[in-house]
Amino acid sequence: MNLIEVYIGEVTRRLPESNREDIALELRSTIEDMLPEDPSEEEVKSALNELGSPVQMANGFRDWPMHLIGPQYFELYMKIIKMVLPISLVVTFITFMTINVIDYNGAGTLGDVFFNLMGDAIGGLWNTTIQTLFWITLLFVILERTDININRELNGWSADELEKVTTAPKKKKVSKSELFADLLFAAVWATLYFNADNLLGIIRNGKVDVPFFNNDVLLSYWPLVSLTLLTAVLLALYKVIVGYWTKRLAIANAVHQVFTTTVIVIMLLNDQLIHPDLTNLLSLSETNQNMILAAIGLFFILSAVMDIVKGFWKAKL
């Protein structure tokens, strides 16, 4: 194995594509100057150890400062922002538009309503952007100053680790679309759960007149639901760190799916969950209501089983 080329590859893959070729040439020249004419493997490793971790080296070639978030966390910090921010904006926009359409009472001209709506939407999206950036940045500032080591690549790095670098099969990799879907589902799930009385139900006269769920009963499960949302975010974070499906990731995914499905089933087993006004309106008997809830529960169970099987299948590729 050509450790020099592996090292250069580990550095340049973390940099913008437009700069990779020039930096690779510069780095290769620097390493060659540090070595004798016909270096041994131990001499190569010694030189690479002197240069340090590829992550630190790549951060040294970047053009932007990283004073608030140091090099240990900066790469992960940017990944989280790029994933979470678009999802937050999409969910905010959809929620905002849905609530305002439901609340619209027909007053005012179409032009006035449109411009007022767009103005409020822009303000809401801007507020979401600020809030998202603030809380993510605060989290990583705390990590930086509490010395919690997430990125093990910087701790005791050795050139010997380059021999362990392998290219995972494409099907094993955790795709950006998969991460986006996971976080989007968590965001939509949170939005619908905590705003069910305004979003889920039969609409009459511009508002939810007959809600689907008994809101007091639904919100009584908020500690469990909040915990499922937390585990979903932590699982997505773990996927970002690992980068591809492993047995540990498959097990973590299975635990999350089982826990989330269990919480959903517990909620569905509550015979007070469906709002009585909806039951009366649709003339649902207790048997029919139980059948509907059982079908919903079966759907979530089958979805969880399929996701668990998929995770272990990808881990074995």
Token pair belonging to 1: 């194995």
Task: Give the per-residue pLDDT at 65.
Answer: 52
How far apart CA 240 and CA 165 sit, in angstroms, is 17
Percent of the chain with pLDDT over 70: 80
Least confident of 78-87, 157-166, 275-284: 157-166
Task: Give the per-residue pLDDT at 251.
Answer: 92
The confidence band for 256, taking pLDDT boundaries of 50, 70 and 90, is very high
> Which residues 6+ apart lie within 8 Å of 162 measured at CB?
1, 3, 6, 7, 10, 48
For residue 189, how far is the Cα from the chain centroid?
14
pTM over 0.75: no
CB atoms near residue 297 (< 10 Å): 17
The larger pLDDT score, comparing residue 196 to residue 300, is at 300
66 pLDDT more than 70: no
46 pLDDT more than 80: yes
Tens of pLDDT, residues 108-153 = 555 665 666 777 778 778 888 888 888 788 877 777 666 555 555 4
How far apart CA 59 and CA 72 sit, in angstroms, is 9
Mean pLDDT score, 3-15: 85
Burial 161-196 (b: 16+ CB within 10 A, else e): bbeeeeeeeeebbbeeeebbebbbebbebbbebbeb
Task: Give the per-residue pLDDT at 126.
Answer: 84
Residue 108 C-beta-side C-alpha neighbours within 13 Å = 10
